[in-house]
Amino acid sequence: MAVRATVPVRDADDLSLAYTPGVAKVCAAIAEQPELAHDYTWTSQVVAVVTDGSAVLGLGDIGPAASMPVMEGKAILFKQFAGVDAVPIALDCRDTDEIVETVARLAPSFGGVNLEDIAAPRCFEIERKLQERLDIPVFHDDQHGTAVVTLAALRNAARLTGRGLAELRVVISGAGAAGVAIAKILLGAGIGDVALCDRRGVVCGDREDLTDVKREIAGLTNRAGLTGSLEDAMAGADVFIGVSGGTVPESAVARLAPGAFVFAMANPDPEIHPTVAARHAAVVATGRSDFPNQINNVLAFPGIFAGALQVRAARITEGMKLAAAEALAAVVADELTPQRVIPSPFDERVAPAVAAAVAAAARAEGVARR
């Protein structure tokens, strides 16, 4: 990674514009009209990629220093796929309020904040508090990026097999950041029913071991009133979504409904190997690039931020996420096969389509400022 100027500094005249004395006029103008910072500096076009290093990829709690290569990679993807500049920031802190305070103090330098690889349940509270405090988009990609791409793939799988989302019962293995966000976006999209499962089985209201986040999601999901283990919940389900790791036995996969979809997204080892899943499912997706239908966050977050920054959105709403998923699904809606229900990350149509949909949704919802 590197930082470079977008205009040349070739001689004394250029220097006088780029720095002293010319820069003083820009500073004075912004001091008089603070909103000019969005036009005369890079703040409205750059995203902070922020982590505490507590939940990095499949590596877990490896700390801020070791997390930096992932944050740098994220920034490169922002630039590569959507032309969005981003700065990686790894914080040596685990206290929720201290992280919120630190990011809030950094916020005047950025147009948006992408939270990354922060462990649950702390990530939920950090995102919520920052959203309440800041007037720029705050987006925890491990939650919402995963959810947007999952919904897009599910829309196309349903379309391919002639079904609507309202006809589908979904079981999600994993009740962490991604699992909770997927459940919420599926409900917002009109899914028939969804049951969320953790290590102790179905997350339901009569359990006394639930966190506040799980208690909230229990009140929104599982209309069928399922109890018991993940395998019990899978019996007759139309969709399995895995965001937990671990291994699901083939005997449980065989209990899914005919024509089911299996999205086994754990990396590097899917909960259900695609070869096994294909024996029982009509559509199979994973989080890996060496199998068809990769559920990859890079399909979502560059375009989402590009659209939000384009209109100077004050926040990223649920409607903007749903619009992103619909636009992403539409990119390959006329090209569907069981091996292609989601575009490739290198499909050049993706980021522009997502950005346009997000910008339009922001305007429609009244959070756009230009």
Q: What SS3 state is found at 128?
A: helix
CB 315 within 8 A of CB 126: no
193: part of which helix (H) or strand (E)?
strand 193-198
Q: Binding site residues for a divalent metal cation, as ranges?
A: 116-117, 142
The annotation places the binding site for (S)-malate at 267, 296
Query: Looking at residue 245, what is its pLDDT?
Result: 79
Say which DSSP state 118 is in.
Answer: -
Q: What is the pLDDT of residues 123-167, one digit of tens each?
A: 999 999 999 999 999 999 999 999 999 999 999 999 999 999 999
User: Which of these is catalytic: 25, 40, 74, 129?
Assistant: 74
CA distances from 333 to 59, 154, 315, 341, 346 (A): 35, 12, 28, 8, 17
CATH superfamily of the domain spanning 142-370: NAD(P)-binding Rossmann-like Domain (3.40.50.720)
Confirm whether 19 is a catalytic residue.
yes
Domain 142-370 in the same topology as domain 42-136: yes
Residue 25 annotated to the active site? no
The full set of domain ranges for the chain reads: 42-136, 142-370
Q: Determine the pLDDT at residue 138.
A: 98
From the list 190, 274, 269, 205, the residue with the least C-alpha distance to 240 is: 274
Question: Which residue stretches of the chain have pLDDT < 50?
Answer: none
Which two three-digit tokens encode residue 289?
A: 């690039």
pTM for this model (two decimals): 0.94
Distance from C-alpha of 196 to C-alpha of 182, rounded to nearest angstrom: 10
Please give the pLDDT value at position 260: 98
Which CATH number fits the domain 42-136, given the four candidates 3.40.366.10, 1.10.10.60, 3.40.50.10380, 1.10.3720.10?
A: 3.40.50.10380
Over residues 109-124, the pLDDT tens digits come to: 999 999 999 998 899 9
pLDDT at residue 127 in the model: 97
Annotated binding residues: 116-117, 142, 267, 296
* Residue 85: predicted pLDDT: 96
**Three-state SS letters, 146-171:** HHHHHHHHHHHHHHHCCCCHHHCEEE
